[in-house]
Homo-oligomer: A and B are copies of this chain.
């Protein structure tokens, strides 16, 4: 009996993700979302229920659609250290050039915002952090099994360090940092983890 939605919620959510990602969540108004999606305020509120929930949904969708696949590719890459290097090369490239250049990472950006303190948002930030850290750990363990790593390296700590390094790359790229500089920094960390023979 009832009417059905005249639009695709996921498509609309993707538009919101783009806005929040590029301009910043706090700087993006509902009016901007209305204009970008083409749908009305009524439909927006009926579907997502307010800006806070829309932000949480957008952040979660960014994590699952933008971050997760890359993390899974890293964890599945059996090359070890070269897999991690490739991850960072593609990360830096995406952050400094192309369609999303200088946008940073929506999750990383959210860390510094006021909304980053809300429990529901915080939970997504932690989920993102754990996902990346675990992927790094898997890649490092593969590298260890292949004898690519220093014997005394703490894999757990190294995974955390690389995850932190990725956050900083996201952050600094938004402020215009050069790709070569970011890559050199990442490589310095990675080189410190590998065996002398590997270098």
A residues with a Cβ closer than 8 A to B are 23-24, 26-27, 104, 108-114, 116, 122, 125-126, 129, 150, 152-154, 156-158, 160-161, 163-165, 167-169, 171-172, 174-177, 181-182, 184-189, 191-193, 199
- In the assembly, what is the distance between CA of A108 and CA of B154, in Å? 28
| Chain copies in complex | 2
**Docked CA distance A168–B158 (Å):** 14
CB of A104 within 8 A of CB of B112, answer yes
Find chain B residues with CB under 8 A from A188 CB: 153-154, 157-158, 160-161, 193
Supposing A112-B108, A112-B113 touch, asked if A168 and B174 sit within 8 A by C-beta, the answer is no
Q: Report the Cα distance A31→B79, complex, angstroms.
A: 56
